[in-house]
Homo-oligomer: A and B are copies of this chain.
Amino acid sequence: MPVVSYKGISRSEVRMDGVSLTTKAAVIGPDEGWGENAMRVFRIAPGGNTPSHQHDWEHVNHVISGKGTLTIGDETFELSEKDFAFVPPNTMHQFRNPNDEDFEFICIVPKRGA
């Protein structure tokens, strides 16, 4: 099925050291025919965050709704609805939601990072 309805995506809690109040849904990846990459949707509830960590692959992001922050190295950026971001490989990074509504964004990774 080439179309994935946003309303139908299946979210599961992210269980990982340093994660708080975050769910993840896989939307398009190798199973849909995108051989080398995976598009996922993360939703961070108010007060939540992803871990501060690094790995040898990049993230390509787009904010679906809400707003939050993205720390890359020692810089912190504000992300608002519809903004885009690129997190380089091998760089410490963390998404946080210090606001009072959900912060939801696309995160694309190569398949080895999915």
Contacts and interface: CB of A to CB of B under 8 A. Distances in A.
Given A34-B58, A77-B2, A28 B86 contact: yes
| Identical copies in the complex | 2
Contacts of A39: 60, 62, 84
Contacts of A62: 39, 62, 64, 106
A28 B60 contact: yes
B34 A83 contact: no
Contact of A3 (B28, B34, B85, B106): B85
Counting chain B CB atoms within 10 Å of each CB, the highest count among A34, A84, A108 belongs to A84
Contacts of A28: 60, 84, 86
A88 B92 CA distance: 34
A2 B33 contact: no
Interface in A10-44: 27-28, 32-34, 36-37, 39
Contacts of A45: none
